[in-house]
């Protein structure tokens, strides 16, 4: 293997593949990045066995020539050093060449690195997916769906399926759901797909989605998504992002969402969030972020929290369209605050079903997003 | 105690006093900030017993009224909560009032916090310094002197005096020196002071100086510095910054600096630093940042490092005015790199006195800054 490449183009490619590499892997060769040089360009692969990223740098496009391939071949180089070396190279171009069995020389201007590597034949193959279940989404929308749900996944491994976001598609409508059993975030959206496409119980690990979101842009370009029973593949320009799926059955959640309640109210998203942040100053350490809310008259909510050691806070915020029974409830303020942060709408509508029953927050005039929360018992 | 104050003005004051407060203190009352309201304004005090910061907010200046004092008095409130509460207050003004024995209410718009406190009588008194040894420096210059020396203090407690920067003044010339016994950084400067002022062995803890540098601006305003045998005080506008001094005798360093050598060379500061950073990619983990340098002909230095596991790097940089014996030396690259970062000059002159003897780096045409380094023995 021997090629010369535009340094900045190579830096970008190596950084993308490197996003899949984990320093905590127990499989030594996965600390490496696989580099493949063919006549048409350079392929870079990184993997932590849960996710894999393959990115392709074409030798040229209509405007520029990026790569000169002197000799085709494959290598695996230690990601940690390789990525930093490439980034610190002084010249506009660099030359990478296989030396001996598995080592490489990387040269640019007056600098030459020699870097030891691994046998590329031992690098695991990427999965070959049957492209039967396929649909498309614009990048910015996929990015939205992920950030509006993934924060609600469980961080505990006691019920592994809850550490992922569940994706379903029926009648060209996609639903993404995440829950840690104390809160639930759900987003629906129309997708471009075959009429008959029916996808159920596709649970993508939250960690994979967080990593994917670092790669996605706010662009309108379409992402093609391929689903099989064990893997999902996102195709973004020249990049392939693979993730394993979580085994097991995601709980049925649609019936959990109340449609009628005892108290309804409309609130300013920002005012509520600022108020919760103040309340949590006192409750976050000792009291698990417990925040108390009660209705005051017909147009105010009182928000309070208390810590025996530190002190207490009490404030009122304006409530519009406060209807139904008087309200007195306590909840984990951080869960609500997390949800408010992904709501773009200036106002939210809240539906309470009783002091000890779940309540619903939706962006105003928006049917495609639902956040559900369990109250906490205080005595 | 009871006053109303402009919120932003108060936030700034509290943040400044809070810089002296450490969450790791073993003296409970020092987790608090002392607040004193008098007819002329509000004084805020924070301390970790090594450093203390007292800042004064005057009730008004020529243009604005910042504070209305309803009742004078003193309180101590828990810094961690108090600073965050003040920062998250919604209104342009806030009212702080003593409630009961030691608690306070802090109110702004529709928000009321009640915060528990400590007995202000138990808060340690700040030292009263004899103003006999006094001199002045512009803020920006004090900031320079600190950042150009403090990085070289020892991080090890085996010789406590080396964890501080030593300040001396003779003939209106101030010298600041720091050394961890492998490297030394020295900066001299003229100061405004009494002719007869003679200060020796004033060792200010590195940690105090790092904290002070976060408060200093790049302004020309003068800082007044008061020195006693156990304390130093920096007066900056309305702020007093106290630090204890380190006990013990700082090693004599002036005789350690070689004036003549075997090899001299002029190098680009930036080119050398980039080259060292590349070399350290391979040597920083296993080899203690060991970098090798040797002269090549009359106008180049070869810089290299090697790691048996990872690989090696070799490069050449341009050397001007390379005179004297052939050079081959090894050193801790990080020590050199730290020094290069505080050198503004585009070129440096280096004076080598042999493979196993200390060498000197100075900014080109600059007599007021010296960096000295011990080589490392390699076999």
- Measure B371 CA to nearest chain A CA, in Å: 26
Residue A113 is predicted with a pLDDT of: 98
| 3.30.70.580, 3.20.20.70, 1.10.150.120, 3.70.10.10: CATH of A258-373 | 3.70.10.10
> Does B312 contact A at CB distance below 8 Å?
yes
Q: Which CATH class is domain B133-254?
A: alpha beta
Residue A369, number of CB atoms within 10 A of its CB = 22
CA atoms lying within 13 Å on the CB side of residue A279: 28
pLDDT per residue as tens digits for the range A92-147: 999 999 998 899 999 999 999 999 999 999 999 998 999 889 999 999 999 999 99
pLDDT per residue as tens digits for the range A200-235: 999 999 999 999 999 999 999 999 999 999 999 999
Q: Does domain A133-236+243-254 have CATH number 3.90.550.10?
A: no
Mean pLDDT split into 10-residue runs, chain B, 379 residues: 98 97 92 97 96 97 94 97 97 96 96 97 93 94 97 95 97 96 96 88 97 95 96 96 97 89 96 97 82 95 94 96 95 97 96 94 92 89
What distance in Å separates the CA atoms of residue B315 and residue A105, rounded to the nearest whole number? Answer: 13
What value of ipTM does the predicted structure carry?
0.88
B99: region left, alpha or beta (phi > 0 left; psi from -120 to 50 alpha): beta
Contact B90 A274 (CB under 8 A): yes
Residue B170 is predicted with a pLDDT of: 93
With beta carbons under 8 A apart, name residues in chain B contacting A88: 274, 277-278, 281
> Does A112 contact B at CB distance below 8 Å?
yes
Q: Which of B243, B209, B226, B52 is nearest to B129 (CA)?
A: B226
- Domain positions in chain A are 2-122, 133-236+243-254, 258-373
Instruction: Calculate mean pLDDT across residues A358-379.
Output: 91
Non-local (6+) Cβ contacts of A310 within 8 A are A282, B78, B81, B115, B116
Residue A259 is predicted with a pLDDT of: 85
pLDDT per residue as tens digits for the range A152-201: 999 999 999 999 999 999 999 999 999 999 999 999 999 988 888 999 99
How many A-B residue pairs are in contact by the CB < 8 A criterion?
Answer: 78
Q: Name the burial class of residue B17, with classes exposed (0-12), middle (13-18) and buried (19+) by CB atoms within 10 angstroms of its CB.
A: buried
What distance in Å separates the CA atoms of residue A167 and residue A133, rounded to the nearest whole number? Answer: 13
Q: Are B257 and B280 in contact (CB under 8 A)?
A: no
Q: With cut-offs at 50, 70 and 90, classify the pLDDT of residue A278.
A: very high
Q: With cut-offs at 50, 70 and 90, classify the pLDDT of residue A288.
A: confident
What distance in Å separates the CA atoms of residue B373 and residue B85, rounded to the nearest whole number? Answer: 48
pLDDT per residue as tens digits for the range B323-349: 999 999 999 999 999 999 999 999 999
pLDDT per residue as tens digits for the range B99-131: 988 999 999 999 999 999 999 999 999 989 998
Residue B379 is predicted with a pLDDT of: 65
pLDDT per residue as tens digits for the range B252-286: 988 889 988 999 999 999 999 999 999 999 987 76
Residue B192 is predicted with a pLDDT of: 83
Residue A366 is predicted with a pLDDT of: 82
| CA angle centred on A18, ends A158 and A218, rounded to 5° | 85
Contact A309 B116 (CB under 8 A): yes
Q: With cut-offs at 50, 70 and 90, classify the pLDDT of residue A379.
A: low
Query: Strands across the sheet with A183-190, in order?
Result: A199-205, A164-170, A173-179, A183-190, A369-373, A359-363, A347-352, A263-268, A320-324
> Does B84 contact A at CB distance below 8 Å?
yes
Q: Please give, one letter per residue, the 3-state secondary structure of B125-159.
A: CCCCCCCCEEEEEEHHHHHHHHHCCHHHCCCCCCC
Please tell me which of the candidates A113, A281, A310 has its beta carbon nearest to residue B311.
A113
Q: Are A106 and A98 in contact (CB under 8 A)?
A: no
What distance in Å separates the CA atoms of residue A160 and residue A153, rounded to the nearest whole number? Answer: 10
Instruction: Calculate mean pLDDT across residues A304-330.
Output: 95
With beta carbons under 8 A apart, name residues in chain B contacting A309: 116
Same fold, A133-236+243-254 and A258-373: no
- Measure B318 CA to nearest chain A CA, in Å: 10
Return the CATH superfamily for domain B2-122: DNA Polymerase III, subunit A, domain 2 (3.10.150.10)
Give the CA distances from residue B188 to residues A171, A373, B209, in Å, rounded to whole numbers and listed in that order: 77, 64, 17
Residue B177 is predicted with a pLDDT of: 98
Non-local (6+) Cβ contacts of A9 within 8 A are A57, A66, A67
Which residue is listed with tokens 């005012």? A271
- Mean pLDDT score of chain A: 95
């Amino acid at each position: 293997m021997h090629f010369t490449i535009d340094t900045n183009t190579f830096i970008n490619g190596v950084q993308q593949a490197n996003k899949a590499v984990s320093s905590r892997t127990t499989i030594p060769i996965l600390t490496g990045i696989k580099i493949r040089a063919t006549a048409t360009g350079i392929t870079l692969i990184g993997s932590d066995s849960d996710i894999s990223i393959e990115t392709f740098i074409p030798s040229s496009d209509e405007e520029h020539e990026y790569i000169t391939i002197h000799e085709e071949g494959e290598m695996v180089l230690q990601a940690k050093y390789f990525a930093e070396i490439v980034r610190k190279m002084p010249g506009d171009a660099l030359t990478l060449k296989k030396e001996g069995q598995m080592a490489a020389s990387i040269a640019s201007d007056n600098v030459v690195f020699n870097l030891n590597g691994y046998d590329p034949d031992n690098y695991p193959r990427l999965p070959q997916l049957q492209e039967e279940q396929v649909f498309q989404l614009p990048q910015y929308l996929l990015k939205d769906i992920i950030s509006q749900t993934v924060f609600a996944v469980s961080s505990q491994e006691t019920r592994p399926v809850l550490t992922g976001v569940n994706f379903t598609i029926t009648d060209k409508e996609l639903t993404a759901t995440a829950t840690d059993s104390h809160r639930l975030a759900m987003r629906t959206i129309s997708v471009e797909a075959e009429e008959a496409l029916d996808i159920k119980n596709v649970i993508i690990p939250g960690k994979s989605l967080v990593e994917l979101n670092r790669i996605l842009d706010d662009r309108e370009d379409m992402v093609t998504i391929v689903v099989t029973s064990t893997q999902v593949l996102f195709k973004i320009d020249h990049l392939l992002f693979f993730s394993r799926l979580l085994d097991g059955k995601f709980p049925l959640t649609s019936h959990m969402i109340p449609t009628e309640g005892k108290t309804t109210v409309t609130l300013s998203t920002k005012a509520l969030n600022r108020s919760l942040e103040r309340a949590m100053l006192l409750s976050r350490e000792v009291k698990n972020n417990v925040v108390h809310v009660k209705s005051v008259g017909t147009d105010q909510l009182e928000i309070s929290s208390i810590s025996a050691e530190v002190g207490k806070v009490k404030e009122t915020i304006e409530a519009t369209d406060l209807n139904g029974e008087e309200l007195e409830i306590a909840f984990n303020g951080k869960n609500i605050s997390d949800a408010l942060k992904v709501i773009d709408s200036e106002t939210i509508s809240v539906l309470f079903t009783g002091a000890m029953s779940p309540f619903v927050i939706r962006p105003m005039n928006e049917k495609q997003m639902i956040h559900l929360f369990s109250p906490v018992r205080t005595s």
